[in-house]
Structure 1
Amino acid sequence: MGKIVISSNVTLDGVVRDPDGEEGFERGGWFHQFVGGKDLEDWVARETEEALAAAALLLGGRTSEWFAARMLSRDGADVRVSPEWANRVKSIPKYVVSSTLEDPQWSNATVLNGDVVKEISELKRKVDGEILVYGSYQLVPTLLEQDLVDELRLVVFPVVLGIGQRVFDETSDKKALNLVSTRKIGDGLVFYTYEFEKN
């Protein structure tokens, strides 16, 4: 049985929008502004360990295109991550949720373009292990609303933006979680792991 894990970098006030500053958001670029040295080294180590332990990736169409454009054009040479992480992301089975995408560009990728809830429920039944969700902030609210998420992992950056899309912008009701662990990453980041309570 698969376990869906949302893994995200967020600001202290929960903003996930434009961490690298490439979207043109006026307060974007916070990832590079508030991480460096030991923070970055430990962040890369955590990110790599997580990817190596995962069984699959679940991505929204835009997030899949974003990763593919950067990783496939540079042979995975993203300066923020290790070659080991990049190679794993390129080789791991990927499931891309999109009603318009025809060519996911990746090898080892399957497009899910039907009933999202049904297809992801089936995916959880057939995959054995963790199914990581990176980015995908149009898909994430659906996963949360339908109680398909099992675990939430947040790396919190020491900055408050005040505006911008948050990981929990759209929920119709309260969502109860249990804190599993918390630890410091480098000198300024904090990593939280939560499990969702199931009814």
Structure 2
Amino acid sequence: MRKIIVCTFLTLDGVMQAPGGPDEDAESGFTHGGWQKAASDDEVGAGIAGWYQHSDAMLLGRKTYEIFASYWPSADPDNPFTAQMNGMHKYVASRTLTSVEWQNSTLLEGDTVEALRTLKASDGGNINVVGSGDLAQTLMRHDLVDEYRLTIHPVIIGTGKRLFAEGAIPTALEPVSVTTTKGGTVLGIYRPNGKPTYDSY
């Protein structure tokens, strides 16, 4: 069985919206696009590269797929991520797309949750969910996330889409690896570990 791994860039207050650029996702009037680069350092890039060592596919929602498909096919070939992003298999979950043109892409068909369960049960390596906030919510609601790989950057935005939004399923997390870069970004890997337990001091 394959692992589904949610890989997300977060602000300290949990915002995941539009880390990569001002025009990436202005939905709901979001004006803080592009917050990640200034809050990162070279250790962040090395950490993210390590996330892909044992993964051979990505799982993307429509918005993230369209952003990536418009950028990576013509991206700088000297960027070490370019060949990797273009070469990996991409599974796309969308209710509106009828085809996907980016190389090595497959549009999931039929009921999304059933398609995801079938994909998880198939042969192959780990599958990284990148961005794709709505899809991540679906995965969490149906207990399909095996691991979270998060970069938590030292910046507070105050508004925007959050990975763990209101209504998130209460879940205990087991820390697998947690480090802090010289610039203060936390690189955390966590696995769901049942329900939270409660106690008092």
TM-score range, shorter chain: 0.7 to 0.9
Q: Is 2:191 aligned against 1:195?
A: yes
What residue identity is the alignment partner of 2:109? N
Secondary structure of the equivalent of 1:104? coil
What residue identity is the alignment partner of 2:167? T
Q: Tell me how far apart the structure 2 counterparts of residues 197 and 29 of structure 1 sit (CA, whole Å).
A: 33
2:171 maps to 175
Pairs within 5 Å for 1:123-142: 123-142=119-138
TM-score (norm: length of structure 1): 0.88
2:71 maps to 70
Task: List alignment gaps of at least 5 residues for structure 2.
Answer: 196-201
Please state how far the C-alpha of 1:32 moved relative to its aligned partner.
Answer: 2.4
The superposition leaves residues 75-104 of structure 1 with CA deviations (integer Å, 9 ceiling, x where unpaired) of x329xxx73322111111110001221232
1:51 maps to 52
Q: Tell me how far apart the structure 2 counterparts of residues 126 and 15 of structure 1 sit (CA, whole Å).
A: 32
Equivalent of 1:104 in 95, 100, 106: 100
Please state how far the C-alpha of 1:172 moved relative to its aligned partner.
Answer: 5.3
Contact 1:141–1:171 (Cα < 8 Å) also in 2: no
Secondary structure of the equivalent of 1:69? helix
1:42 maps to 43
Q: Tell me how far apart the structure 2 counterparts of residues 176 and 51 of structure 1 sit (CA, whole Å).
A: 25
* Shift in alpha-carbon separation, 1:77–1:155, aligned structure 2, 3 A: same
Contact 2:51–2:149 (Cα < 8 Å) also in 1: no
1:115 maps to 111
Q: Tell me how far apart the structure 1 counterparts of residues 158 and 11 of structure 2 sit (CA, whole Å).
A: 10
Contact 2:57–2:89 (Cα < 8 Å) also in 1: yes
What residue identity is the alignment partner of 1:15? V
In the comparison of the two structures, how many residue pairs are matched? 190
The CA RMSD measured in Å over matched residues stands at 1.8
The superposition leaves residues 18-67 of structure 1 with CA deviations (integer Å, 9 ceiling, x where unpaired) of 212213422332112322xxx1x222222222224212110001111100
Q: Tell me how far apart the structure 1 counterparts of residues 181 and 142 of structure 2 sit (CA, whole Å).
A: 31
* Shift in alpha-carbon separation, 1:106–1:127, aligned structure 2, 3 A: farther
Please state how far the C-alpha of 1:198 moved relative to its aligned partner.
Answer: 4.7
Secondary structure of the equivalent of 1:103? coil
1:161 maps to 157
Task: List alignment gaps of at least 5 residues for structure 1.
Answer: none
Contact 1:61–1:98 (Cα < 8 Å) also in 2: yes
Contact 1:181–1:194 (Cα < 8 Å) also in 2: yes
Kindly, what percent of the aligned residue pairs are identical?
35
What residue identity is the alignment partner of 1:101? L
TM-score (norm: length of structure 2): 0.87
Contact 2:5–2:147 (Cα < 8 Å) also in 1: yes
2:11 maps to 11
